Chain A
Amino acid sequence: EPEVTQTPSHQVTQMGQEVILRCVPISNHLYFYWYRQILGQKVEFLVSFYNNEISEKSEIFDDQFSVERPDGSNFTLKIRSTKLEDSAMYFCASSQAALGEAFFGQGTRLTVV
């Protein structure tokens, strides 16, 4: 069964460093998303991406964050100058249609120390 794949599963980084979280969405999906979940809190929307551009972003997704689809399969989230409060589980998701069922990856647990 097709699935969304995320790497790495866990990343530890020092405060101020840049990290890149990677995702391989389901191959025939056209809409891609990043969400995050701080420990003990709700899953929060960060950004959606369609047709090689951002279609919607939340107020969390400021200039510290960027997304890219560098090739036909990967979808990345870059976090510059990481802060302690960026520690969270980051989920990538994809869907075939704009309002379609969203399928999530297993997540990358980011720990900023």
Chain B
Amino acid sequence: KQEVTQIPAALSVPEGENLVLNCSFTDSAIYNLQWFRQDPGKGLTSLLLIQSSQREQTSGRLNASLDKSSGRSTLYIAASQPGDSATYLCAVRTGANNLFFGTGTRLTVIP
């Protein structure tokens, strides 16, 4: 069964710093990987979708990379802002209609 792990579980950084969030998965036979943001008590906001054939995907200050063979993805956030404070979840799609989620990294950006 697919297991998705995110490290670290929590991260605090000063405003303006660049940071990297990590996601690893045990079964490399994935179709794609999606990064989400979750604010406390709220829904999931899709940030980036990266297909299994892609190595990188960018949206604004966010850059996601994927190394499918080693079962790893990273989310790079440039020039962090207090508004970036949230929990970041990665999820992999191994079946046609099923996302497996990690436990998330809770990010706090300190003004």
A contact set with B: CB distance below 8 Å: 6, 31, 33, 35, 41-45, 48, 50, 55-56, 58, 91, 93, 98-107, 109
Contacts and interface: CB of A to CB of B under 8 A. Distances in A.
Interface stretch (B13-21, B66-74, B78-86, B91-99): B91-99
A43 B32 contact: no
B97 A50 contact: yes
Contacts of B4: 42
Nearest to A55: B97
B97 A101 contact: no
Contacts of A100: 49
B97 A31 contact: yes
Interface of B: 4, 31-32, 34, 36, 41-46, 49, 89, 91, 93, 95-103
A99 B101 contact: no
A105 B93 CA distance: 19
Given A43-B44, A43-B89, A107-B42, A99 B98 contact: no
Contact of B44 (A50, A58, A91): A91
Nearest to B52: A99
B93 A101 contact: no
A44 B99 CA distance: 8
Given A56-B95, A93-B44, A104-B46, 8 more contacts: A33-B97, A35-B99, A42-B103, A44-B101, A58-B98, A99-B32, A99-B93, A106-B43
B43 A104 contact: yes
Nearest to B45: A104
Contacts of B96: 48, 55-56, 98-99
A99 B91 contact: no
- Going nearest first, the 6 A-B pairs with the smallest beta carbon separation are A48-B97, A106-B43, A104-B44, A43-B101, A101-B49, A56-B97
